[in-house]
C-alpha cells in the first residue's frame, strides 16, 4: 500500500458504500449537503482498478480486505505520520518499536523503488 496511499486508509466496506475519486482517493461529496456520496444500490465498487486486488484473479472487496490495514494498524500509521510532523521523543518502548518497524518498511520500499528505476533505465540503454 506504500505505492498507493490513495487507498491505504480506505476500507473495502466503505468503498462498497461510497463513491471515491480514483485519482485522489477522496470520497465524492454531494454538492448540496457536503455529505459523502453513496454508491448506487446496484453499482459495483471498482475493485478491478484497485491496487489492493491487483495481483489476484478475483477482484472483490473480500480479496481487497485481506490486504487492508486493520483499524489498529491505521492508528499506528497515523501516529507515525504525526511523529514525523511534530518530532519529539517517544518514551513508550512499544510505540518506539512499532514506529521503527514502519520507518524500516518505508526505507525498504524506497530502496525497491530506486532499484526498479535503475533497472528500467539500464534496460533502456543502447550499447554501441
pLDDT digits (tens, 9 = 90+) for 28-58: 999 999 999 999 988 888 888 887 777 667 7
Q: What is the pLDDT along the chain (128 residues), one digit of tens a residue?
A: 666 667 777 788 888 899 988 778 888 999 999 999 999 988 888 888 887 777 667 777 776 667 777 788 888 888 888 888 887 778 889 988 999 998 998 888 888 878 877 877 777 754 45
Backbone angles phi, psi at 58, to 5 degrees: -95, 120
Are residues 60 and 1 both part of a single domain?
Answer: yes
Are residues 28 and 83 both part of a single domain?
Answer: no
Are residues 32 and 89 both part of a single domain?
Answer: no
Prediction pTM value: 0.55
Are residues 10 and 32 both part of a single domain?
Answer: yes
Which DSSP string do the residues of the chain spell out, in sequence order? -TT-HHHHT--HHHHHHB-B-TTT-PBPB-TTT-PBPBPPTTPPP-GGG-GGGTT-SS-SHHHHHTTSPPHHHHHHHHHHHHHHHH------HHHHHHHHHHHHHHHHHHHHHHHHHHHHHHHT----
Last residue in a domain, options 68, 91, 116: 68
Are residues 103 and 83 both part of a single domain?
Answer: yes
Amino acid at each position: 500500500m506504500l505505492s498507493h496511499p490513495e487507498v491505504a486508509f480506505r476500507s473495502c466496506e466503505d468503498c462498497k458504500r461510497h463513491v471515491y475519486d480514483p485519482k485522489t482517493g477522496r470520497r465524492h461529496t454531494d454538492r448540496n449537503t457536503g455529505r459523502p456520496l453513496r454508491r448506487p444500490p446496484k453499482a459495483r465498487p471498482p475493485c478491478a482498478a484497485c491496487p489492493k486486488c491487483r495481483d489476484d484473479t478475483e477482484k472483490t472487496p473480500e480479496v481487497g480486505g485481506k490486504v487492508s490495514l486493520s483499524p489498529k494498524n491505521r492508528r499506528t500509521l497515523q501516529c507515525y505520520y504525526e511523529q514525523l510532523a511534530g518530532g519529539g521523543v517517544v518514551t513508550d518502548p512499544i510505540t518506539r518499536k512499532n514506529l521503527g518497524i514502519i520507518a524500516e518498511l518505508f526505507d525498504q520500499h524506497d530502496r525497491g523503488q530506486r532499484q526498479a528505476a535503475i533497472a528500467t533505465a539500464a534496460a533502456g540503454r543502447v550499447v554501441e
